[in-house]
Chain A
């Protein structure tokens, strides 16, 4: 049980490639933090620095109250689950799980008790005598989790543990890992490139890009109030729609003009946009905040956009409509019943209470 503190952490490889820039983060005890970002964003490097498998170029890393920059991985009281499982092929499942305890000279009885307990939780009791090669992908993943669990570490590090599993198994393991976290009450640091995993499991998400932290927040806040264009586009599926809009003076404050259509920005939401008057900003709106056909009551906005349906993607309970008008392409998420067909021209309403505005140059959010 420990909190982790990363202070001004940098990772520079020879040849002056900086993989991680000024990484600052306080991870609370028992927190489930997920580092997410596209490949090459430095998330795995950061995790490996916490594990001690990668040297920290500069900055300070504390686990608990202890500065661990120069502490060997084995002395950091951590356990790690690898993307490719990394099970010891010459040992049985039991020995794989017992290995760490054996090295720590734990008594045989205690090892046996801990291994069997972990195996029971993970439902792999019947596999204990098998070698890894006789296991399926999902079973191997469980063994890898078990190997980490038995040691009862202060921190659990997981490096894309689900990315090698098929879609169905991944969803199942997702909830199991979340449950495991609750049950163990240990600090979890988890790396993934899959925003769905991040959204469903994390207490807090750290979004990274090109070695920089973009935003650190709870899944809900990240979804509702992304701090810049990158985060807005990365979190959410299908992703947020972006269209260029010119800021104008509206009836009761400000408005955004998309071609001939004008969308009033509710005055209670709008910050001071004086500075942006006449300028082009990026308007962001999530697919579920678009209404096709008719506008439900109590939703802002008035003027609909006339758009053409280029593709209707049936997802079962809902339909993703790909809409086009001139340069603007939008995706709307609508109930399956209200489905329009390809080629239909439909009125599209934007929920102006859910608009996001981003500065086109700095890419930072102006309005959430």
Chain B
């Protein structure tokens, strides 16, 4: 076997493994998509069909006509965007402080953030529920915004601290000497350089909030305040599950995140400070 053949075989094996992996990831999505276009009769029949016998938009129609899916989507968008922006604001300030300043108890703060990640969030729901009850926050979207912000901030803050630490201090100092005040150095130099880090953190906070179900179920009672995961969960009835509508809802829930990822993915893979300093 010569080298050319060897390389061909290695390539083929690599292709096969990746294809299998991709199939494993995409198969459930395909099934979701196909199911959303099937009639309920076809879904519930014992015969497995890999393509809808009769393509129908009935599930999508019902989703918006029978349920308040538009409202759920609006709720989810409000909660997700507000909490992600808050997470970002806190993480930027805190991450910067932890990366750049020396202060008493800095290590303790870091450890506290890390430890908080080890506690199962569900344990926190009970005290949170009591506190929110006293504050009259139960069954409001604000409660979810606060919860998601609190849950996602520690991880994002530590991540952003790492990004800040990779930006040399001299870059900031150069900006200060060049004529910036502290805030300008931040907005004109550090933020643009940090952009990939900001995007990565935002994506994390966004998906975390967008997909969250448990807090949504616990803290929201009224139908008009449900978020998408809660609404999808509601398709599981006592006696039956509406697979068609559920699939349609899932597909629609995927659209914003997919668009979002498509837009930002190129920043995530980008290097941070290429060429800024001599490494």
Q: List the A side residues contacting B188 at CB < 8 Å.
A: 99
B-facing residues in A29-83 (Cβ within 8 Å): 51-53, 72-74, 78-80, 82-83
B121 at interface by CB-CB < 8 Å: no
Complex contact A147–B178 (CB within 8 A): yes
Do A84 and B170 have beta carbons less than 8 Å apart? yes
Q: Which residue of A lies closest to B176 (CB)?
A: A73
The answer on a CB contact under 8 Å between A86 and B176 is no
* Closest B residue to A90 using CB positions: B192
Q: Which residues of A contact B181 (CB under 8 A)?
A: 72, 74
What residue in chain B is nearest A157 (Cβ atoms)?
Answer: B177
Q: Once bound together, how far apart are the Cα atoms of A132 and B279, in whole Å?
A: 13
For A100, the chain B residues whose CB sits under 8 A away are: 178-179
- With a CB–CB cut-off of 8 A, which chain B residues contact A134? 275
**Are A86's CB and B171's CB within 8 A?**
yes
Query: Residue A279 at the B interface, CB < 8 A?
Result: no
Alpha-carbon gap, A79 to B278, bound state (A): 19
Residues 152 to 170 of chain A near chain B (Cβ within 8 Å): 157, 164
Contact with A along B170-204 (1 / 0, CB 8 A): 11011111111100100011001101000000000
Alpha-carbon separation in the docked complex, A84 to B275 (Å): 10
Most chain A CB neighbours (cut-off 10 Å) among B174, B176, B274: B174
Chain B residues with Cβ under 8 A from A316's Cβ? none
Given contacts A72-B181, A74-B180, A103-B184, contact A133 B174 (CB under 8 A): no
Q: Verify if A89 is at the interface (C-beta below 8 Å from B).
A: yes
Are B276 and A82 within 8 A (Cβ)? no
Q: Is B168 on the interface with A (CB-CB < 8 A)?
A: yes
Among A52, A73, A89, A137, contact of B274 (Cβ-Cβ < 8 Å)? A89
CA distance A104 to B178 in the complex (A): 9
Q: Say yes or no for B273: interface residue by CB 8 A criterion.
A: yes
Could you tell me the distance between the alpha carbons of A147 and B195 in the complex, rounded to whole angstroms? 24
Find out whether the CB atom of A89 lies under 8 angstroms from the CB atom of B275.
yes
A135 and B184 contacting across the interface, CB-CB below 8 Å: no
The number of residues on chain A lying at the interface, defined by a beta carbon within 8 Å of a beta carbon of chain B, is 33
> What is the number of contacts between chain A and chain B, taking CB atoms within 8 Å?
92
Interface range, B side = 20 to 34
Query: What is the minimal beta-carbon distance from A89 to any residue of chain B, in angstroms?
Result: 4
Also in contact, A51 and B168, with CB within 8 A (given A90-B193, A135-B275): no
**A53-B173, A84-B168, A89-B273 as given contacts; A140 in contact with B278, CB under 8 Å:** yes
The answer to whether A103 and B180 touch (CB under 8 A), given A89-B275, A89-B276, is: yes
Q: Which 10 A-B pairs have the closest CB atoms?
A: A133-B275, A132-B275, A84-B277, A103-B179, A133-B274, A89-B276, A86-B170, A100-B178, A86-B174, A164-B278
Interface residues of A (CB under 8 A from B): 51-53, 72-74, 78-80, 82-90, 99-100, 103-104, 131-135, 137, 140, 147, 151, 157, 164
A-B residue pairs in contact (CB < 8 Å), sample of 28: A51-B177, A52-B176, A52-B177, A74-B176, A78-B177, A82-B170, A84-B277, A86-B168, A86-B277, A87-B174, A87-B277, A88-B175, A88-B193, A89-B193, A89-B274, A89-B275, A89-B276, A99-B175, A100-B178, A100-B179, A103-B178, A103-B179, A104-B179, A133-B274, A137-B278, A140-B275, A157-B177, A164-B278
Extra contacts besides A53-B177, A86-B277, A90-B193 (19): CB < 8 Å = A73-B173, A74-B179, A82-B170, A82-B174, A84-B170, A85-B278, A86-B276, A87-B174, A87-B275, A88-B175, A89-B272, A90-B192, A90-B195, A99-B178, A103-B178, A103-B179, A103-B184, A147-B178, A151-B179
